[in-house]
A and B are shown apart, each in its own frame.
Chain A
Amino acid sequence: MSVLKKVIASAAVATALLSGPALAQDNTRIALVVKALGIGFFEAAAKGAEEAAAELGGVEIIYTGPTDTTAEGQIEVINALIAQQVDAIAISANDTDALVPTLKKAMDRGITVISWDSGVAPEGRQLHLNPSSNALIGNMIIKLAADHLPDGGEVAVLSATTTATNQNIWIEEMTKVMGDYPGIDVVSTVYGDDLADKSYREAQGLMQAHPELDAIIAPTSVGIVAAAQAVVDAGKVGEVNVTGLGLPSEMAGAIESGASQSFAIWNPIDLGYSATVLAYQLAKGGAVAEPGAEIPMGRMGSLTLDDNNEGAMADPFVYDASNIDAFKSIF
């Protein structure tokens, strides 16, 4: 037995040396659980969460997530968080349904649970924070084009597929608010099927069919990049402004060349910030998540909950030459 005893004894000594001082327990501990670690978008959200923690005071952020984007991995992470009796869990879920039993258990043990970015089914969380809403996105994409056309002009829409649910809703919402932008005419809507080459050809076709075209709105991250390239290749930089929804990392070139004046997408920093403030409010009893409730979220205004306890954070965030450099390395 002597070998075994020695091993145990040395392990005990090692642990005694390693354990160190007891953990501080006074802080409100909010866990920001993401789809997987090492993704720029979520690292930025964590930055926002830290900002909120500094503002709120006495808040400790636990930024965590699995290595791969799996529901099983997130469940292991959540189980560890439940065991630590954290005060709140704010999660961007890998699976709408699979996390529900575990998150229910967390709520049963008195932990505040909210989802953000990618939601959890209503029974598995207290509220869900959407980065934006369809109405806000619909308004934003036409506003982006109109802002650079003070005297009005012709714009065209380059969408994804004819059946793409999101894009169709956004274009519908855009049509609803066209009255707010007098002088702006939508002359055509084409579909690039979210394929780079088809989107490129459709953008070329738009410029040929409408020589007076002033802007192309592409509410899809594939289409917007392809359209910007088509504008550059046609030598129409400065004549046709490409805008819509895109990723800063992919659109940095288009901003630099001037093919795109500005475009929009959610801001992950704001998202992490808002999720943290909301989780804090609910955990501290400063707010209750119920349909119709209006919960303040610091510098981002307040969140109004619908019948599903979901709310939209804000307008999509606008990226242009002034801030693209800061965001292009993030996502």
Chain B
Amino acid sequence: MRDTVQPNRHVPDRLTSRAQRMLRSWEALLLAVAVAIFMLNSFASPYFLNAWNLSDATFNFTEKAMIAFAMALLIISGEIDLSVASIIALASTAMGLAAQYGAGTGELVGIGLVVGLLCGAFNGVFVTILGLPSIVVTIGTMSLFRGISYIILGDEAFRGYPADFAWFGQGYVYWVFTVELAIFAILAVVYGVLLHKTNFGRAVYAIGNNPTGALFSGIRVQRVKFILFLLTGLMSGLAAICLTSRLGSTRPSIAQGMELEVVTMVVLGGVNILGGSGSIPGVVIAAFVMGLVTFGLGLLNVPGIVMSIFIGLLLIGVIALPRLWAMLRQGRRAS
């Protein structure tokens, strides 16, 4: 190959340069939005630029983002898990039950993660072995998992977690950096490497783009999907540990409605809801955008419903913008 091409001639393999692509990418757009929101916030409220306040604000997204990383991979592979918030409820209930019988912090963490894994496996079996659509299966398990919590707890609550269990949701690693933020940062790196630097990550993209093609390329499609459901369950278990620790108690209504916020975060992060594309840096920035927006509007005492409207508009806006941009460019070229 090499000797057929003159060594000093540059042959472009892409139409645009690397820098140009990065600038036009979803992540760049999101980052600009994040920076704009950050600046708007610091002008709009005198309380925004305060290390402790910003530290408190990170709780608005850390737990959701933990799940969003795994969910991003799952959605890229063409599946979805809507039961994540219910997995939190069930895992938290299991931990509460264990705490009643005197389980220590280590055991509680183990129980939370194992229950999360089991729930993920349950979803995974139905989707990958029985071949049912994940959206249907997980809408079912969404009611099932939380239903079990309601049966166990009714209108009661579990309290009395060990004192050192509070470390996960209320502790600080260093200065204003919370334990949850540290977990978020570590997971961001782990999932970034997993999706973008490993064969497994390539397989996830391949499955999302063309499952049949992936299968004929020797990728064990169902096994990869099963692992992704396990991961999503595990992350839900981890989020359950953090949230339970932060609240110091468990009620069956815990994390109600969180699944949609997680999916919103993933889609805002540029992951194609139909599968096949998306990136972890995008999800990381989306997490910050959502956290900054809710906290900033909260500082201005904007009612929650207006906040939901704002997030909705942001989501539609960020999704529609590149599309509009493309249409505009095409229109210009055609005329």
Interface, chain A (partner B; CB < 8 A): 1, 3-4, 7-8, 11-12, 14-16, 18-19, 22-23, 36-38, 62, 64-68, 70-73, 75-77, 79-80, 82-85, 95-98, 100-101
Contacts and interface: CB of A to CB of B under 8 A. Distances in A.
Nearest to B60: A76
Contacts, number: 132
Is chain B's interface secondary structure helix, strand, loop, or mixed overall? Answer: helix
A180 to B, nearest CB: 35
Interface of B: 23, 28, 31-32, 35-36, 39-40, 42-48, 50, 52-53, 56-57, 59-60, 157, 159, 166, 169-170, 243, 246-249, 251, 253-258, 294-295, 298-299, 301, 303-305, 307-308
Given A19-B43, A22-B46, A98-B249, A80 B303 contact: no
Contact of A70 (B46, B157, B253): B253
Contacts of B251: 71, 95, 97-98
A96 B42 CA distance: 34
A3 to B, nearest CB: 6
Interface of A is mostly: helix
Nearest to A66: B304
B157 A95 contact: yes
A3 B36 CA distance: 13
Given A1-B23, A95-B157, A85 B47 contact: yes
Given A14-B36, A95-B251, 6 more contacts: A7-B32, A8-B36, A19-B43, A83-B299, A84-B47, A95-B157
A83 B46 contact: no
Contacts of A1: 23
A18 B57 contact: no
Contact of A98 (B28, B248, B298): B248
Contact of A4 (B28, B255, B301): B28
A67 to B, nearest CB: 4
A11 B46 contact: no
B40 A15 contact: yes
B249 A67 contact: no
Contacts of B57: 79, 83
Listed from nearest, the 9 A-B pairs whose CB atoms lie closest are A80-B298, A97-B249, A67-B304, A11-B36, A83-B53, A15-B43, A98-B247, A19-B43, A7-B32
A83 B36 contact: no
Contacts of A7: 32, 35-36
A82 B56 CA distance: 9
Name the residue among B256, B299, B301 with the largest chain A CB count within 10 angstroms. Answer: B301
A129 to B, nearest CB: 22
9 contacts: A7-B35, A12-B39, A14-B36, A23-B45, A38-B305, A76-B60, A79-B57, A83-B50, A95-B249
Contacts of B298: 76-77, 79-80, 83
Given A67-B305, A95-B249, A11 B166 contact: no
A79 B44 contact: no
Nearest to A6: B32
A11 B44 contact: no
Contacts of A62: 301
A84 B253 CA distance: 28
Nearest to B56: A79
Given A79-B59, A79-B295, A97 B308 contact: no
Nearest to B23: A3
